[in-house]
Amino acid sequence: MRNNRISSVTLLKATILSLWLTMKNLFRRPVTVQYPATRRPIPERWRGGTFALTTDKETGEENCIGCKLCERICPSNVITVEMEKHSGRGWAKSFILDLQACIQCELCVQVCPTDAIVMVYGMETPVTRREDLILNKEKLMANEKLYPAAWARGLKLQQLHEPERGTEEKRGVVGK
């Protein structure tokens, strides 16, 4: 029982310490982000928000070839692509991305062989109708001009995943 007793000196010390913390916080700068006026910087490797379909910068053609890889890999089956073929390559006749069930796993970006689908630096926008969460091809193309594209691209991520080619001497790795 003796161990449970708190001496008055300890109690006084603890009280002064906690009051000192209160005093410190009284004069500290507030941590609140005044959201609509100032915004938090979005991190570089941002994964979230909405998507965009990109176009080629030189020719202005859309990059998507309608290969349906993103439709295949999507874990919640929100992407539906229809393909059509003319003028020597495939095109996406329609591209529907349903943000109602999207979990922003970025897998569709990772598998894209032509860097066509990317995520953008932008927040999720709240909508008042459920249909507005379904992004069709026109909305996805318009998103490219509205927001800057995020860091991750299909080819960039695939390069990171690839094992390095060549022997160790060729790559300049010296033995341990």
Catalog residues that contact other proteins under the rule CB under 8 A.
30-36, 39-40, 48-49, 75-77, 98-104, 123-130, 132-133
DSSP run (H or E) holding 118 = strand 117-119
Q: Are 114 and 76 in contact (CB under 8 A)?
A: no
Cα 131–Cα 37–Cα 129 angle in degrees, nearest 5: 10
Nearer to other proteins, 125 or 158 (CB): 125
Nearer to other proteins, 27 or 35 (CB): 35
Nearest-approach distance from CB 93 to other proteins, in angstroms: 24
Nearer to other proteins, 45 or 129 (CB): 129
Task: Kindly state the DSSP code that residue 69 receives in the 8-state scheme.
Answer: H
DSSP run (H or E) holding 84 = strand 79-86
Nearest-approach distance from CB 99 to other proteins, in angstroms: 4
Nearest-approach distance from CB 41 to other proteins, in angstroms: 12
Nearer to other proteins, 25 or 159 (CB): 25
Nearest-approach distance from CB 39 to other proteins, in angstroms: 7
Contacts 24+ apart (CB under 8 A), 42-45: 42/121, 44/151, 45/151, 45/152
